[in-house]
């Protein structure tokens, strides 16, 4: 730098900063050898704070306003007061401008799924993501703890650390909340406030605050979401029998409306759907198939007892009774009885046995 440039720098008495980057948090005002002129005017705009560092020590923090840097209110001596040092003041001072506005639309999200015990699903995993805003509340602490001597500090340099803090507290809050996964969507606002409160102590140690934290989405693993979708579909379908009939009717209507679209495929599809619908129409009101009643059980064959000369013989089957008729052992006047019959009766008055006496064999050959 030439002598004229250096002298012009010595007589510049306005210190200010305007930012159009939208992500710069701290910017250091650059001067030749970090020397500040006696009587310089320091302009601090709304949304800014100026931190004055003298000989390596944080001396003061200026809020929005216009300030005159003079020995009566600043602990420094400028170059113009020390011509004997050849424009090299023994007092080195720096001014750091700190952006105190909100940095918004910052992203956060869980890098890996969070394990938790859900009251309904049991052990499960979930992911979450959202946005947050950050603001510098204590410029001196922020400069001392985070920025250091960085002449241009941007939001990207600290956003990763803030995301880690948010995810850590989100994992702890969500695991201990006891809120079922299906109810978390209705409680995202409350969960966001809980997380913002939980991380406020850590953020205060950095000179920062999180005014807003939003949870945009909480998602389950794909396999669990697929099972949940099936469960939801079953709930929407309701009566599965009616739903199947409706689907078959819709398919038949579509096939009939486009008979030439697929050659014989439409007709075949309609026939198949018709058969399926016919089968479904046999279903009961709850989808249960109505089967035909079983055939009646075969009648129980009776067995008979015969009374002859005060003695009872038997039991005999109907076939045995037929043979006895043939050989003359059983006649029409024989007294017979079977279970369920009201007392002894003649064989010819019992319907089942009377038929045995009417069946006469044909005449023998050569008769």
Instruction: Name the CATH architecture for the domain at 304-358.
Output: 2-Layer Sandwich (3.30)
- Cα angle 333, 324, 317; round to 5: 100
The confidence score (pLDDT) of residue 179 equals: 83
| Percent of the chain whose pLDDT exceeds 70 | 72
Q: Which of 51, 40, 32 is nearest to 77 (CA)?
A: 40
Read off the pLDDT band of 220 (50, 70, 90).
confident
Report helix angle 240-257 to 222-237, nearest 10.
90
pLDDT tier at 209, thresholds 50, 70, 90? very high
The domain segmentation of the chain, as residue ranges, is 3-99, 103-224, 238-258+266-281, 304-358
Higher pLDDT, 337 or 365: 337
Correct CATH for 103-224 of 1.10.3720.10, 2.70.98.20, 3.30.479.30, 3.40.50.1820: 3.30.479.30
- Compute the distance between CA of residue 272 and CA of residue 278 in angstroms, rounded to an integer: 10
Among the ranges given (29-38, 172-181, 324-333, 336-345), the one the predictor scored with the smallest mean pLDDT: 29-38
**d(Cα 262, Cα 264) in Å, to the nearest integer?**
6
Q: Is the model's pLDDT at 215 over the cut of 60?
A: yes
Q: Measure the CA–CA gap between 217 and 324, rounded to whole angstroms.
A: 94
Poorest-pLDDT segment among 55-69, 101-115, 167-181, 223-237: 223-237
pLDDT tens, residue by residue, 95-134 = 899 999 999 999 999 888 888 888 887 888 888 999 999 9
Contact of 30 with 110, CB cutoff 8 Å = no
The answer to which of 64-68, 114-118, 133-137, 339-343 has the lowest mean pLDDT is: 339-343
Where are the alpha helices (H) located in the chain, listed in sequence order? 3-10, 139-142, 156-177, 188-205, 222-237, 240-257, 265-281, 318-326, 351-358
Which residues lie closer than 8 Å to 27 by C-beta, 6 or more apart?
A: 17, 19, 96, 97, 99, 151, 152, 153
pTM (predicted TM-score): 0.56
| pLDDT computed for residue 178 by the predictor | 80
* Per-residue pLDDT band at 14 (split at 50, 70, 90): confident
Give the DSSP per-residue string, 181-235. Answer: GGGGGGGHHHHHHHHHHHHHHHHHHTTEEEEEEEEEEEE--HHHHHHHHHHHHHH
Report the C-alpha gap between 92 and 302 in whole angstroms: 128
**Distance between start and end Cα atoms, the chain:** 158
Residue 95 CB burial class (10 angstroms; 0-12, 13-18, ≥19) = buried
- On whether the CB atoms of residues 248 and 226 are closer than 8 A, the answer is no
Q: What is the mean pLDDT of the chain?
A: 77
| pLDDT band with cut points at 50, 70 and 90 for residue 161 | very high
Query: Sorting pLDDT into bands at 50, 70 and 90, what band is 238?
Result: low
């Amino acid at each position: 730098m030439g002598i004229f440039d250096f002298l012009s720098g010595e007589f510049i008495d306005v210190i200010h900063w305007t930012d159009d980057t939208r992500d710069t948090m701290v910017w250091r005002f650059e001067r030749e050898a970090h020397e500040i002129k006696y009587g310089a005017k320091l302009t601090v705009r709304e949304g800014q704070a100026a931190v004055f560092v003298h000989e390596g020590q944080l001396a003061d923090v200026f809020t929005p306003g216009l300030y005159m840097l003079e020995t009566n209110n600043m602990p420094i001596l400028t170059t113009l007061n020390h011509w004997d040092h050849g424009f090299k003041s023994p007092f080195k001072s720096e001014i750091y401008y700190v952006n105190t506005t909100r940095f918004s639309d910052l992203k956060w999200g869980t890098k890996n799924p969070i394990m938790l015990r859900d009251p309904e699903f049991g052990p499960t995993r979930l992911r979450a993501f959202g946005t947050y805003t950050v603001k510098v509340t204590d410029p001196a602490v922020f400069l001392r703890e985070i920025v250091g001597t960085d002449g241009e500090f941007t939001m990207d340099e600290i956003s990763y650390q803030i995301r880690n803090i948010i995810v850590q507290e989100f994992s702890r809050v969500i695991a201990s909340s006891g809120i079922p996964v299906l109810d978390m969507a209705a409680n995202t606002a409350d969960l966001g406030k809980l997380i913002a409160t939980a991380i406020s102590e850590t953020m205060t140690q950095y000179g920062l605050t999180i005014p807003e934290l939003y949870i945009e989405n909480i998602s389950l693993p794909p396999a669990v979401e697929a099972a949940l979708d099936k469960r939801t579909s079953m709930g929407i379908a309701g009566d599965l029998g009616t739903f199947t009939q409706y689907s078959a009717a819709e398919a038949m209507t579509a096939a009939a409306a486009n008979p030439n679209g697929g050659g014989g495929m439409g007709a075949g599809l309609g026939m198949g759907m018709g058969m399926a619908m016919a089968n479904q129409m046999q279903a009961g009101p709850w989808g249960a198939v109505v089967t035909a009643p079983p055939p009646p059980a075969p009648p129980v064959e009776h067995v008979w007892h015969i009374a002859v000369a005060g003695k009872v013989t038997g039991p005999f089957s109907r076939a045995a009774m037929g043979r006895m008729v043939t050989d003359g052992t059983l006649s029409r006047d024989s007294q017979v009885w079977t279970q369920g019959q009201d007392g002894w009766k003649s064989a010819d008055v019992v319907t089942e046995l009377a038929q045995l006496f009417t069946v006469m064999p044909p005449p023998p050959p050569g008769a």
